[in-house]
Structure formats: structure tokens, C-alpha cells
Amino acid sequence: ALAGRHGATVAVIAGAELERDFPLVHAVGAASTRQPRLIDLSWGPEDAPRVTLVGKGVAFDTGGLDIKPSAGMLLMKKDMGGAAAALAAADMAMGAGLRLRLRLLIPAVENAISGEAFRPGDVIRSRAGLTVEIGNTDAEGRLILADALALADAEAPDLLIDFATLTGAARTALGPDLPAYFTEDDALAAAFEAAGRTAIDPVWRLPLHAPYASLLASKVADLNNVSGGPFAGAITAALFLRRFAPNTKRHVHVDLYGWNPSTKSGRPEGGEVQSARLVYALLKERYPA
């Protein structure tokens, strides 16, 4: 419906093609009776600046074989909040006719449990060629994002933004209202925060502290999908993702909650799209119609 409304083209990759070309996405979704997919939407003139939005689309997250406790699973219908934010930002950008070549990538999976589930200790070769040791199946969001980011990075877009309900560590640091974001580009960070103020859609920058990359070391693969200790979980997740987009200089990773735990003025309790208004304000400023 979104593609048809704006005259965009869309491809849906699934089955054997997904298993071959996006092995991390396939592995995370393999246990579900609902087939995993990668949704790839493109819009805008080919000669315009390339902007790619990537959204984590975990429709439900049991945690996989590293299963969540029941209390931790109750809200996991919101684990597609990153995909919702990316879709909303894309919808606004296309509706405004901004001067850009937009690409929207959504790896869509259910992290379920069955005999087909991926396992702790598995080593999986990603689309980028990097091998990943599975330290925890409940750190699945970064896995599906990694393959999507590798696809995006092949074009080295002018701007790459990914959205994900990724870590409890970001929520511990900043609470439910304030998404964390990460980027290596200070000028882009300033523009990102200015757009947040304009849109009344606040975010807070956390550091991509490079030495913490050592926490993702693996003895059997290029990297582990989780750190070996309790520290800096949001940062190590962001550093993990950065490994899969080395050619893209302007990359922002947004770690959001996607849920309003209590009713506020104009904001009912429940699912909440965070950072979409910010990103639209940023795109409108950088790529005006």
C-alpha cells in the first residue's frame, strides 16, 4: 500500500534466495511458521542523493532458545518499532516529494522456538562475509540489521539511518522517552539533534567508543553478537552494526523503545513511533523538494 501510494518499487526476498543472500535474517526467522523476509523499497530519481533507511522488523521476539522470562516477553509485539519508525519517516519523505533517492530496507522476522531455531554457539557467515558467533539468540535484532546494512552499504549512500528497539542498556541509561543515537560524524550529530528540537522529537547521543569493540571478540568467528560482560551493551551493539557498513561515512544508528508506558498529553499508552519526525525534519532540511 505504501509503495502504491507513492509510486515506489518494492521487492520482497524470501525462501532460498533469502537463505543464500541474507543468512543472518534467514537464521533468526527460521524457527517460525511465518517465513522471514527482506522488504526492499526504492523511490525517487536515480540521480538524486541516496538515502537509505533500515528498520528492525521483529514481529515478535520470544528470545529464541535463550528464551525470555514471561515478564520480558509481554511487550515483544513492539519489537518491530524500528521498522515502524523507518516506514513513517519514508512515508513522510515520499509524500513531501523530497529530492532524494530513497531506499527502505526492512528485515522482517519472528524470533520463535522450534527444531529449526538457530542456536547459541552457532557460527554464521553474514552477507558481508564476516562470520558471527551466536553468543545469545535474544540479541537477534543486530543480526538481521547486519545483513540489511551490508546491502545498503554496497551503494555507499549519502546518508544511512537505522532504527531499532535494540538494547535494554539504552533504556537503562535514558529511559523510555529518549532514544539513544550513535554516529561518528560530529556535523551530522549536530544536525540530527537540531532536527530533533525542531520536530520536538528528542534524542541523546552516546559514544561509539572504539576500544569496547574488543568486548565482541570471538575465538571461532570474526565477532560475537554479544559482549562477554555486563557493560556498555548499547555501545557494543552499535559497534557491532558499524562493522557491516564500513563504506558509508554518514551513518546514524537509533536505539529506541517504541512504547509509551503511560498516557501523557497527546500520547496514549502503547506503541509509539520515535525519531520518525526527527528524521523527516532532517531530510527536509538536507534534501528539499
Catalytic residues: 68, 142
- As a whole number of angstroms, the distance between CA 75 and CA 96 comes to 33
Q: Are 25 and 107 contacting, i.e. CB atoms less than 8 angstroms apart?
A: yes
- As a whole number of angstroms, the distance between CA 75 and CA 272 comes to 12
- As a whole number of angstroms, the distance between CA 37 and CA 26 comes to 8
SS3 at position 11: strand
- Give the three cell numbers for residue 286: 538536507
In the block, cell 524457527 appears at 31
- Residue 282 makes CB contacts below 8 A (sequence gap 6+) with 191, 192, 195
Helix ranges (DSSP H) in the chain = 2-6, 15-21, 23-29, 70-73, 81-95, 141-153, 168-174, 186-199, 233-242, 276-286
User: β-strand 259-260 against 180-182: which pairing, if any?
Assistant: unpaired
Residues comprising the chain, all counted = 289
Q: Are 174 and 180 contacting, i.e. CB atoms less than 8 angstroms apart?
A: yes
- Residue 289 makes CB contacts below 8 A (sequence gap 6+) with 96, 97, 98, 99
